[in-house]
Amino acid sequence: MNNKKVAIAIPASVISDTPHLREKTSKIGLIGRAAAIFQVNEIIVYPDSPKVNQRGDMALIALLLAYMETPQYLRKRLFKLEPQLQFAGILPPLRTPHHPLNRKAADLKVGEFREGVVLSRTHEGALVDIGVEHTAIMRETKTPVGERLTVKIVKVTERVEVETADRAEIPVYWGYRISAEKRSFSELMKEGRYDLTVATSKFGSKFADVADKLSERWAKANSVLLAFGAPSRGLFEIARDEGENLNTLVDFVVNTIPSQGTETIRTEEALFASLALFRTWLKR
């Protein structure tokens, strides 16, 4: 896997048409699975209804996606019991490389990466929970107690020893990060943080018609942002309500599901269809 970073932007209203928390949780679970399956590095939740206070929905989406991304053995340490997580049990497991099933220290290998949480400090160093029966020791003690970090196994003896690791050095997909964006969709697109921005819309160009140009830009980009609208309001409408033209905000507007058989396509459905198409046809 190379160093290209792929981000997706989804609207806060993705769960607005779902009244019950259980169904909201289920829908967010599909979004998290899509992101993990297609190796998305960042999920951005943006406000798309300026006349509605969407902070609650944005917080819920971010919380559940973060819970999903956290290895199971760390969740009780990093998340409190709160009402928004009462249906977290129905979230599908990601089963990504940073969610290992091994819970035995003896089966760890030098050079293996794990996610951990610093539990305390001793005269030897920091004690880190890495999901096995005994805590690991980390000689570096700058990381605050209670903070999550990525570590590398450097010694497996009677005491497992680890050191902090940079995610950039990990050769496999290591999950996504989540950000709740306070700025509008248009402001996010104007930021210029991404080398390539692609909006999905049924009013966009058919993917086949722009595949060559898009593939060329994709291959050169180090960072890509794929933006998705809501079933009730697509990205053209969202941009227009913010006084902008979608065509001038992004590099490409693409219809990834031409001749769709339904009047609307849910955001989580568009994620699976679009990310599969991009993953298949564009060089990562």
Looking at the structure, tell me whether residues 208 and 156 fall in a common domain: no
Helix (H, G, I), strand (E, B) or coil at 113: strand
**What pLDDT shows up at residue 49?**
86
Helix (H, G, I), strand (E, B) or coil at 215: helix
What is the CATH classification number for the domain harbouring 138?
2.40.50.140
In-domain check, residue 83: yes
In-domain check, residue 170: no
**What pLDDT shows up at residue 124?**
87
Q: What are phi and psi of 52, to 5 degrees?
A: -120, 140
Pairing of strands 223-227, 252-255: unpaired
Looking at the structure, tell me whether residues 153 and 16 fall in a common domain: no
Looking at the structure, tell me whether residues 200 and 233 fall in a common domain: yes
In-domain check, residue 227: yes
Tokens (6 digits) for 175: 């999950």
Q: Which residues of the chain have pLDDT under 70?
A: 1-2, 283-284
Quote the radius of gyration of the chain (alpha carbons, Å): 21
In-domain check, residue 22: yes
Please tell me the distance from the alpha carbon of residue 227 to that of residue 199, in angstroms, as a whole number.
Answer: 5
Looking at the structure, tell me whether residues 183 and 260 fall in a common domain: yes
Q: pLDDT tens, 8-63?
A: 999 999 998 888 999 999 999 999 999 999 999 999 999 998 888 899 999 999 99
Looking at the structure, tell me whether residues 120 and 238 fall in a common domain: no
Question: Which of 165, 190, 211 is where one domain is finished?
Answer: 165
Question: Which of 139, 165, 191 is where one domain is finished?
Answer: 165
In-domain check, residue 100: no
- Which residues have CB under 8 Å from 222's CB, separation 6+? 3, 4, 5, 195
**The residue to which tokens 């980009």 are assigned:** 221
Looking at the structure, tell me whether residues 133 and 271 fall in a common domain: no
**What pLDDT shows up at residue 283?**
62
Helix axes 21-37, 267-281, angle to 10 degrees: 0
Q: How far is CA 178 from the centre of its chain?
A: 5
Looking at the structure, tell me whether residues 187 and 68 fall in a common domain: yes
**What pLDDT shows up at residue 2?**
54
In-domain check, residue 82: yes
In-domain check, residue 46: yes
The whole domain housing 63 covers: 5-95+175-281
What is the CATH classification number for the domain harbouring 202?
3.40.1280.10
Looking at the structure, tell me whether residues 189 and 240 fall in a common domain: yes
Q: How many domains, the chain?
A: 2
Looking at the structure, tell me whether residues 111 and 85 fall in a common domain: no
Q: What angle do CA 61, 62, 63 make, to 5 degrees?
A: 95
In-domain check, residue 259: yes
Looking at the structure, tell me whether residues 194 and 73 fall in a common domain: yes
**What pLDDT shows up at residue 143?**
86
Looking at the structure, tell me whether residues 75 and 184 fall in a common domain: yes
Q: Which residues face 151 on adjacent strands?
A: 114, 164
Looking at the structure, tell me whether residues 267 and 186 fall in a common domain: yes
